[in-house]
C-alpha cells in the first residue's frame, strides 16, 4: 500500500503546500541560514542559496517517488514562509520533522504547531498508517510541544543524531509517537478447532 499525501492543507493562518524553486530565497533567509532556527537540527546551516535550492530539489524528487514529503508553511495573510513539515512514509509508520522559523515570534510558532496538529490528526486516520513518530533533541525547544499534540514519549535514544550547528557529533533525542491499533484478522479455524469450540459450547 502506498501513502497518498495531501496536496495542500489550509488552517486559519497557514497554507501547507509543496515547495517550488521560487521559494529558495525566502527559505534560505527565514530558516535554513538562520542560526537560531537551525540550532538543534541534525544538518548544517545553509551558507549558500545553492544549498537551499538543492534542498528543494530533494523535496520535489521525494514528492514524485513518495519517499519524502516536504510542506512549505505559508502565511495566508502575508505570503511569507514560516516553517516546513517533513514526512518520511514507510507504512505502517510515518516519521515527521518540523522546522519553524524563529524570526516570526510566538504567534508564528503557535500557528505552526496548530498546523502540525491538524496534519497529524489527518495522518493517523489514513489507510495503512498506524504510527506517526518524531525524534526531538532532549535539550531543544520542540519536545515540549509534543505532549500537547497528543504524542507519547516512548523513551530516550542515546547519541541518536548529529547536532552540527552546536559542534556535537552525536546528541540524545526523545522518541515521541502517536499510534492507533491495527485491526486483527480473524484466525482461520481447522476442523479440530471447530469441533473443540462446538464441544465446549455444548458443555
pLDDT at residue 145 in the model: 86
Averaged pLDDT, 166-183: 95
| Tens of pLDDT, residues 54-68 | 999 999 999 999 999
pLDDT bucket at 116, cuts 50 / 70 / 90 = very high
How do residues 6-51 score in pLDDT, each as one tens digit?
999 999 999 999 999 999 999 999 999 999 999 999 999 999 999 9
**pLDDT band of 142, cuts 50, 70, 90:** confident
The grid coordinates listed for 59 are 523535496
Q: What is the mean pLDDT of residues 179-191?
A: 77
Query: H helices of 45-175, where?
Result: 49-65, 105-123, 143-146
CB 115 within 8 A of CB 103: no
Q: Whole-angstrom Cα distance, residue 78 to residue 103?
A: 15
What is the C-alpha to C-alpha distance for residues 104 and 112, in angstroms, rounded to an integer?
A: 11
> What integer pLDDT is reported at residue 165 of this predicted model?
96
pLDDT of residue 1: 78
This prediction has a pTM of 0.87
189: left (phi over 0), alpha (psi -120 to 50) or beta: beta
Q: What is the mean pLDDT of residues 144-164?
A: 93
pLDDT in tens, 65-109: 999 999 999 999 999 999 999 999 999 999 999 999 988 666 667
pLDDT at 183 over 60: yes
Domains of the chain (ranges; CATH) run 9-202 (3.40.630.30)
Amino acid at each position: 500500500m502506498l501513502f497518498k499525501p495531501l496536496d495542500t492543507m489550509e488552517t486559519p493562518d497557514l497554507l501547507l503546500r509543496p515547495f517550488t524553486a521560487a521559494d529558495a530565497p525566502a527559505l534560505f533567509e527565514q530558516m535554513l541560514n538562520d542560526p537560531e532556527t537551525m540550532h538543534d537540527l541534525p544538518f548544517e546551516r545553509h551558507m549558500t542559496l545553492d544549498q537551499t535550492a538543492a534542498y528543494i530539489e530533494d523535496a520535489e524528487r521525494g514528492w514524485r517517488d513518495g519517499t519524502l514529503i516536504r510542506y512549505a508553511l505559508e502565511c495566508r495573510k502575508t505570503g511569507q514562509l514560516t516553517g516546513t513539515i517533513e514526512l518520511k512514509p514507510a507504512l505502517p509508520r510515518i516519521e515527521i520533522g518540523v522546522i519553524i522559523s524563529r524570526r516570526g515570534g510566538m504567534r508564528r510558532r503557535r500557528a505552526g504547531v496548530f498546523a502540525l496538529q491538524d496534519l497529524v490528526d489527518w495522518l493517523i486516520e489514513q489507510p495503512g498508517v498506524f504510527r506517526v513518530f518524531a525524534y526531538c533533541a532532549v535539550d531543544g525547544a520542540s519536545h515540549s510541544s509534543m505532549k500537547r499534540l497528543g504524542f507519547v514519549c516512548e523513551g530516550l535514544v542515546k547519541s541518536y543524531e548529529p547536532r552540527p550547528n552546536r559542534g556535537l557529533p552525536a546528541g540524545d533525542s526523545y522518541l515521541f509517537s502517536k499510534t492507533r491499533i491495527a485491526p486483527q484478522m480473524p484466525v482461520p479455524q481447522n476442523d479440530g478447532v471447530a469441533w473443540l469450540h462446538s464441544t465446549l459450547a455444548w458443555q
